[in-house]
Structure 1
Amino acid sequence: MQTKNPDTRRWLAFAVLLVGAFLPPLDFFIVNVALPSIRGDLGTSAAELQLVISGYAAAYAVFLITGGRLGDLFGRRRVFLAGITGFGLTSLLCGLASSPSMLIVGRVLQGLSAAAMAPQGLASIHALFPVQERSRALGLYGAAVGFAAVVAQALGGALISADILDLQWRIIFLINLPVVAAVLIGGLPLLPDARGDSPAPIDWGGVLLCALTLGLLIVPLVEGRERGWPWWACAMLLAMPVAGLCFWRYERAFARRGGVPLVSVDLVRMPGLMSGLAGVLFFYVVSAFFLVFSVYLQSALGLDPLATGLVFLPFGVGFFIGPLTTPLAVRIFGGWVPAIGMLFEVAGCLYLAALVAQAPAQMPAQLPLMVAVGLLGFGQGWALPTLVRSVIDRAPATGSGMIAGLTNSALQISAALGVAVIGGVFFSIAGDSPDPMSMAKALIAAMLCTGASLALAAVLSVVASKSSIQAAPRPMPR
């Protein structure tokens, strides 16, 4: 409901909540430029490096919807406090990690904390702002998330190269502590203690079964290759469809008992919705690009973290320009914009692969490299917001919140799977003792896989769009 006398400190409160939106994507992307340093310091295997990223993304994905429900039940101020406190403590755990296992556990717990913290800002917009201010608030929320993803690579490289207090890669986690402390000391008194009007009980069974299904898929995909595909990895992959079926049946039974399931069976049957969500799952595997390209630039070409971060700047510029031109693109191309954006990304993948193939052990020429990376960013700027919006818009008003949460979770699951699968392809081809030539071949293969996945996502987005049009009710004859 709109309040007649909105809080005069609402923009300050929202600025505090935006920290909770900014930190999760920042900490997902910032770690990429630190991976070679982590590997050298902790003796981390390739599989463990992948788990540092995919463990965070998977935990964030599975509990993201639950984090929003917790805010409805217990109050968004209280859950935000718990989430950001947990995020600070787990950042400390990651920064002090003395072994790969300790770092991976810290990253999983960091993902859980992010899932509690991040949804509270978006959910608080209705409580904080009158109707005429909500569009501006939503725009700032989206900008904070996008800006975090854009600046993460360069910021991570700058922090590691500065080598503050001789902390090396650990600074990318420990830098969160003063930010969290500032929020806890100065920001919390500003936050309203809003909650949902009629919050539904949390579907804990669905949450656990979803986490089990995802774990049975990601862990063997990452660890199986490194360990020579032992029996337990194969058994986990075989058990994954069984766990997925149990999850689906549990959700149906939970809904029949009058509960609000984690995933609504009726909503996901809507025309075009499953195709759209499948498109999201194949689309965000592009997150693996940051992993494999960072490792290639540092391990094969010898760039330092700062120079590596600067190579990604054209991606940020493209990602910034893309959404600015999206309204014009929608007027010209309509529902084809997500697919066209992904085709720009495919072109970027192919161009980058061609540049690396021409000179495998040398840095590509600056301008062509900027064009290739910029194409990826520009296409992402076109595709990401329009694809997400096209999926959410297919849901009825009563289910838009659940579909929005499910779409965001699908993006994180896609990122985790992309790191597991495409990262696995990269490290398999690079081998146990990689040299610049083998790493160049690995990067080319990874970019071709990423391009193929993006092309499939583009096709699925078109199928979803056509399904929605064909399923639209026709007007009654007069």
Structure 2
Amino acid sequence: MPDSALSVSDITRPISPSPDPRRWSALAILLTGAFLAPLDFFIVNVAMPAITTGLHSTAADVQLVISGYAVIYAVFLITGGRLGDIFGRKAIFMAGLAGFAVASALCGLAWSPAVLIAARMLQGLAAAAMAPQALASVHALFPAHERGRALSIYGVVLGLSSIVGQLLGGALVGADLDGFGWRLIFLINLPIALVAFLAAIPLLRETRSEKRPRLDLGGVVLSSLALSSLVVPLVEGRERGWPWWSVLMLLATPVFVELFRRYELSLARAGGDPLIDLSIFRLPGLVRGIAAILTLYAMATFFLTYSIYLQGALGYSAWHAGLAILPFSAGFLAGSTFSPAISRLTGGFAPAFGFSSSAFGAAATALLVLAFPPGAMPPLLLMAPALGFIGLGMGTSMPTMMRAIVERVGPHHAGLVGGIVNSTLQVSAAISVAVLGGLFFTILGARTDAGGIGTAFAWTLLAIAAFHVGGAYLAAGLGQRKVACRALPSVAD
């Protein structure tokens, strides 16, 4: 069987007979990178007005500050995961962490919108190298009986990044320490990255794929073209009125995907090392799990539109808008804390339970916003539980979905699947902001009053709920199911 095929040993064989005694410390270091990468996507949301004022930038400039990072990060995550398999996950993680720190410093010291946009793109590239290594390393560092717990912690940390981004962004902008204002949202990364980098030297051991594959440069180019042709127009198209080039790029996406598929199959048949071993998608439940993950970050639009609702309709400051996410945060912490118990009670339906809870919470929040007068926050006794249910669902679905997907593949493909999962989340966020954000602004139209913003926010929440109902359907039965230990046919066969 060719090397690209998955075998029984790929799925069942432990990497090391004696677990690394420093594995939990190593996981904490790796999770720093997994946390910082999405954090810097969400933290900019509440700082947008301050950046616009501070750099005298246009709305299009600020959009590029967000989208430039998002596009580069999403496009190169799969490549970043594969680089860890080839050159070693510790080496790629530390290189990415160092690059992320340098880019963060450039963002914090930016003197013009153009410099900030360029630095954000560099930051996204470094994040794409750094973030996938945590998920990939779980297979190498942990024995089978601890792997589920480590994957659950990873899912919790990934979800917390969105919450902390909202809270921390509002706090730092509002504090305006020594006049640094919005710059602190980037400069705060420096001490965190420095501590993680120094700790990684003695505590993080090198791991890589047992068979060191060659880097598939053709696959990198074609996958980047396919992802770019999808993500760039989704991120930039609505803001720019869907120009002709955005439509053309979307139409070209399936062409690039098919070219990529054919190239990878041809390379596998020739005995090469494809960027993505397409045989992994034959594993039971994997495609369905990735499809469910694709609906998960519909919640990215909630954070964007909730911030607009709070600041635009209710007149909240950035700091108070950050605090208003606390009921969601409490629900998320409860969901993530009790997700193992929920998994034991619901078995394979734990991820579906999470999706259903967040759908219920989003629908309840929408009905409350519509039921009460414009410009007034619904009573806390009603609003807090509704927001809490959204958080409960996300706190349950994130760790259980991570475990359901990653435990379906063997260590040989850990870096690849880590990149695919993270890339899917970013593509999900881009699609969500483009489609559901587009719905919000379409309903809002030219209105700027509290009633118009509230109505647009409520209908967007109902659309998010619909996405998560679809996610619940796709995720049903995926949690805690063991993969059959059988060899899969190679894509080259």
> TM-score, normalised on structure 2?
0.84
SS of equivalent to 2:241: coil
Q: Structure 1 stretches of 5 or more lacking a match?
A: 474-478
- The correspondence for 1:427, drawn from 441, 466, 470, is 441
Partner of residue 352, structure 2: 339
Q: CA deviation at 1:288?
A: 1.7
CA contact (8 A) 2:293 2:424 kept: yes
Asked whether 1:390 is paired with 2:404, we answer yes
- Higher alpha-carbon deviation: 355-364 or 159-168: 355-364
CA distance 1:92–1:427, change in 2 (3 Å): farther
Partner of residue 66, structure 1: 79
Asked whether 1:304 is paired with 2:321, we answer no
CA distance 1:242–1:385, change in 2 (3 Å): same
Distance 2:250 2:135 in 1: 36
Partner of residue 489, structure 2: none
CA contact (8 A) 2:295 2:467 kept: yes
Distance 2:96 2:226 in 1: 24
Q: CA deviation at 1:413?
A: 1.6
Partner of residue 115, structure 1: 128
Instruction: Deviation per CA, 1:341-368: give whole Å up to 9, x if none.
Output: 2121111111221222222322222222
Distance 2:475 2:144 in 1: 31
CA contact (8 A) 1:154 1:312 kept: yes
Partner of residue 164, structure 1: 177
CA distance 1:76–1:391, change in 2 (3 Å): closer
CA contact (8 A) 2:107 2:120 kept: yes
CA contact (8 A) 1:47 1:222 kept: no
- The correspondence for 1:411, drawn from 422, 425, 448, is 425
- The correspondence for 1:366, drawn from 362, 365, 380, is 380
- Higher alpha-carbon deviation: 303-312 or 442-451: 442-451
- Higher alpha-carbon deviation: 207-216 or 39-48: 39-48
Distance 1:395 1:18 in 2: 20
Distance 2:402 2:89 in 1: 24
Asked whether 1:460 is paired with 2:452, we answer no
SS of equivalent to 1:226: coil
CA distance 1:251–1:304, change in 2 (3 Å): same
- Higher alpha-carbon deviation: 175-184 or 447-456: 175-184
Asked whether 1:321 is paired with 2:334, we answer yes
Q: CA deviation at 1:123?
A: 4.4
Q: CA deviation at 1:252?
A: 1.7
Distance 2:19 2:414 in 1: 27
CA distance 1:307–1:220, change in 2 (3 Å): same
Asked whether 1:32 is paired with 2:42, we answer no
Asked whether 1:76 is paired with 2:86, we answer no
Asked whether 1:105 is paired with 2:118, we answer yes
Asked whether 1:203 is paired with 2:219, we answer no
Q: CA deviation at 1:172?
A: 0.4
Q: Flag the structure with higher helix content.
A: 1
CA contact (8 A) 1:393 1:400 kept: no
> TM-score, normalised on structure 1?
0.86
Which amino acid is 2:308 matched to?
Answer: V
Distance 1:125 1:272 in 2: 20
CA distance 1:81–1:257, change in 2 (3 Å): same
CA contact (8 A) 2:355 2:397 kept: yes
Q: CA deviation at 1:113?
A: 0.6
What is the aligned-residue identity percentage? Answer: 49
CA contact (8 A) 1:315 1:374 kept: yes
CA distance 1:17–1:268, change in 2 (3 Å): closer
Q: CA deviation at 1:303?
A: 1.0
Distance 2:455 2:29 in 1: 45
- The correspondence for 1:20, drawn from 10, 28, 33, is 33
Distance 1:449 1:42 in 2: 35
Partner of residue 476, structure 1: none
Q: CA deviation at 1:264?
A: 2.5
Distance 1:331 1:298 in 2: 41
CA contact (8 A) 1:69 1:199 kept: no
CA contact (8 A) 2:209 2:411 kept: no
For 1:127-146, list aligned pairs within 5 A: 141-146=154-159
Distance 1:397 1:89 in 2: 31
CA contact (8 A) 1:77 1:191 kept: yes
Distance 2:438 2:237 in 1: 10
Q: CA deviation at 1:99?
A: 4.7
Q: CA deviation at 1:281?
A: 0.9
CA contact (8 A) 2:132 2:422 kept: no
CA distance 1:340–1:291, change in 2 (3 Å): same
SS of equivalent to 1:244: helix
SS of equivalent to 2:237: helix
- The correspondence for 1:252, drawn from 245, 265, 268, is 265
Partner of residue 253, structure 2: 240
Partner of residue 439, structure 1: 453
Partner of residue 153, structure 1: 166
Distance 2:77 2:130 in 1: 9
Q: CA deviation at 1:22?
A: 2.6
Q: CA deviation at 1:45?
A: 5.7
- The correspondence for 2:232, drawn from 219, 235, 241, is 219
CA contact (8 A) 2:19 2:141 kept: no
CA distance 1:225–1:71, change in 2 (3 Å): closer
Instruction: Deviation per CA, 1:138-185: give whole Å up to 9, x if none.
Output: 565555434433322212211111111212222101111222334445
Q: Structure 2 stretches of 5 or more lacking a match?
A: 1-14, 487-493
CA contact (8 A) 1:345 1:454 kept: yes
